[in-house]
Structure 1
Amino acid sequence: MIERYGKSSGPVYDDCLCKPGDVSSINQTLPSYCYSPSGTDCDWYRNCLEKRHPCDGTEASYAIKYAKKFCDLYTENYNKFSSIGKNWVDQVRMCLQVQLVPSLRPGKQQTCESIKELAFRSHVPCYVKPSESKTLSFCNIPTKDQLKVFWTIKGAFVDEPVASMKGLFETLETCTINYIQRKLS
């Protein structure tokens, strides 16, 4: 439900219901919270993603080397954000983790590089539209919060310069396009 509809509570829609036998043959090695991340736990990357796909120490170590590091930096800087900025941070954290949940599914063969690529592809969509809210977006948070985002993740431009710069430009491009479309309508 959370992956498909962005809902973590309430009734389960028919297309998300488990059918008898769906789970019985699956070896459950991860805690159930791994499949419905709240976004409030930066250890999700170590306890869920890294546990399923041990990539730490490899060139493509996304979970520990990049994701958890920046998730923790947002936690350290959390109180510096406005209430709107805090809401955006919370929703982005959850969005980024939810986007990686499919790679946790038993039987889903992923390489460290494919997980890293999937994760980086999710950054711009999660920054620009982290939730079902029509207004919560990097494009719409206060400028002070946008600057705090930049200062929080500035190390990304050293750790992963190409992917980070690409994400920055795509985010700014999307914000510009959205702004122009709003002005023209």
Structure 2
Amino acid sequence: MKFSYFVLSSFAALAAAANHHLPREIGDFCQAPDGVGTCQKTSNCNGISYPNNYCPDDPANVQCCVPKKCSAPYADSLCRHTNQGCSGGSFKSGHCPGDSSIQCCVKSAENNKPSCSNPAENTCSFYPDCLEKQAKCGADGYPLGYGLKYCKKFTNARPKFTAAGKAWITKTMLCLQRNLIPYATGEKSATCPKIKEFAFGTHPGCYVSSGVCALPPQDWEVVISTVSIKELFGSIDALKATLETAGNCVEFYEWLIKRGIIKLIDKVEDTAKSVWKKITDWF
């Protein structure tokens, strides 16, 4: 117990160093100047794509993709690098962080209607009507067996959350769906196992970038009662990736340890020891 907390606390101080030394893969969690994101191909990034080395050892077209909403009056739109283009809309300057190369991509009213390429907030129809319709993975596949199932669970649990928790649900649901747009529209094709693998790879980034680590403990209680910690992060590797880079999640993991929840996952301490050895070997 003490060892695990020591490791988690140490990650807070060493997160920046770890982020630049550990290899990343598509879907992995990454930390950029304007927030937490996932390593994605620039063509699939629904947000700001950072060309810096936040996804080490990946091809040049795989960068840290951070979903960042524009400021008012375009709060429903996303910030993007101008070199990514703004299909179906136009760029508006002065509503995003960073220099003039990062602007708000505002879609026209017609193009901004909910669709398979533009999921609506707080809805679950994307999974059966778009992703499953395109992928045909069946009742046990990711679209229906996980995506739709837990989208409905979180929707039903919404009244139990605080205002911050409700905002987190909205952001997370939309983030998860937006990451799957290429598979739902047919822009990309893959087997059902590959879609599931990709989808789970985006979970940590969506949960964390949407603010799970900043939620009050009462919301964490509802999250864990709605989806198990293993399902929350998808795999031990996904949990490991989060531990390596999310220094701001130390309090969340301390809470998980104190509650004994993190013990439900095998080999967490071994993973922490391994990561700690990698970090100390750099110095």
Partner of 2:214: 140
With over 3 angstroms needed to count, the CA separation of the structure-2 counterparts of 1:172 and 1:138, relative to structure 1, is: farther
Distance (Å, rounded) in 1 between the aligned partners of 2:119 and 2:142: 17
| Paired residues of 2:204 and 2:233 also in contact (CA < 8 A) | no
Amino acid at match of 2:234: A
The one-character-per-residue Cα deviations of 1:46-67 (angstroms, maximum 9, x if unpaired) are 0010001100146xx0010111
Distance (Å, rounded) in 1 between the aligned partners of 2:245 and 2:155: 26
Matched, 1:47 2:129: yes
With over 3 angstroms needed to count, the CA separation of the structure-2 counterparts of 1:165 and 1:144, relative to structure 1, is: farther
| Paired residues of 2:176 and 2:199 also in contact (CA < 8 A) | yes
User: Which is higher, the Rg of structure 1 or of structure 2?
Assistant: 2
CA deviation after TM superposition for structure 1 residue 106, in Å: 3.2
Name which of 68, 72, 75 aligns with 2:148: 68
Q: Which runs of 5+ in 1 are unaligned?
A: 19-30, 131-136, 181-185
Matched, 1:102 2:182: yes
CA RMSD between the two structures: 3.2
Amino acid at match of 2:184: L
TM-score, normalising length: structure 1: 0.70
Matched, 1:122 2:193: no
TM-score, normalising length: structure 2: 0.48
Instruction: Look up the SS of the partner of 2:212 in the other structure.
Output: coil
Identity, % of aligned positions = 34
Distance (Å, rounded) in 2 between the aligned partners of 1:162 and 1:4: 21
Which structure shows the higher helix fraction?
A: 1
Name which of 208, 223, 227 aligns with 1:149: 223
Distance (Å, rounded) in 2 between the aligned partners of 1:112 and 1:123: 17
Distance (Å, rounded) in 1 between the aligned partners of 2:114 and 2:166: 26
Amino acid at match of 1:142: P
CA deviation after TM superposition for structure 1 residue 108, in Å: 2.2
Distance (Å, rounded) in 2 between the aligned partners of 1:51 and 1:178: 38
Distance (Å, rounded) in 2 between the aligned partners of 1:127 and 1:65: 19
Q: Which runs of 5+ in 2 are unaligned?
A: 1-43, 49-66, 70-75, 89-112, 251-283
Partner of 1:3: 46
With over 3 angstroms needed to count, the CA separation of the structure-2 counterparts of 1:141 and 1:108, relative to structure 1, is: same
CA deviation after TM superposition for structure 1 residue 17, in Å: 3.3
